[in-house]
Each structure stands twice: as C-alpha cells, then as structure tokens.
Structure 1
Amino acid sequence: MASDVDLAVEGLPKLDLLEAMAEAESSAGGIPVDLVRMKSLQPHGSSGSANAAGACRDIRRFFQAEAG
C-alpha cells in the first residue's frame, strides 16, 4: 500500500499548482504529494477550519525553513 501526503494550500494561482506540487514532492524525498485547496476541505467538527488553517501555517513554516 502506497502512502502520500496531502497538503492544504491557499492563494495559489491555478497555473502554479503543478509546479508547486512538483517542488513539494521533490522536498518530500520521493513521497507523493497532493495539494488540496483550503476552500475544498470539509471541516471536521466545529474547529475544522481553524485546524486546517493552523496546519497550513505549519506547512508554510516548514517549507520556508527548508528553503532558507
């Protein structure tokens, strides 16, 4: 069974989606990465949107730390 990583993205133009996905997969060491738009996520309980937004911030910090 293969695993992948789903990352929530926000504010990414459509034309940049594939390039961002390729860059994320490259940074993930060969693990497949799917980018999912925040607005398409289903909230989990009453704090689902807040949890997704927090996860997005954590992901953004991770990639910023990797880049610089």
Structure 2
Amino acid sequence: MNGNARPFAAAAEFCAATIRKENKGHSRPLDVRDDMTLQAMAENPDYNTTGLSFVPRDSKTRIPGGIRNINID
C-alpha cells in the first residue's frame, strides 16, 4: 500500500488465476467488497494496474464468504 502498486496487482492476478482454475477456465470479477481497503485498491487504477475486473462496491449480489454487515437493533 505504501505507494507501490505491484503487490496488489500481483496478488489480484494470482486470485483471478485461481478462480479461473476452479471455475473450469472461466473468469469471474474479483469480489473484495468485504474489505474496504482492498475494494478501494481495486477501484484505483494506480493499484489495479492490470485493469482486473472487480465487483463494484454498490453491487447487490451476495458476497461469497467473508464478512457481512449485519444491523442488529
């Protein structure tokens, strides 16, 4: 995060390759909505230097795994 975009891009590409392998060669957008820091990095072209597709933060699709925001009154 300290101004070096390569680590995020490399990690995101590794995750995308893993998803393609698990999904029989089909790609899916990176879904990091449960981590706002990673989401901001995916949205920022200075970090997402490879232009990897990602799920927008305002998407209504279910977040697979990870943390979910739950309002308890």
TM-score w.r.t. length of structure 2: 0.33
Q: Greater strand share, 1 or 2?
A: 1
Q: Which has the higher helix share?
A: 1
Higher RCO (CA-CA < 8 Å; seq separation 6+): 1
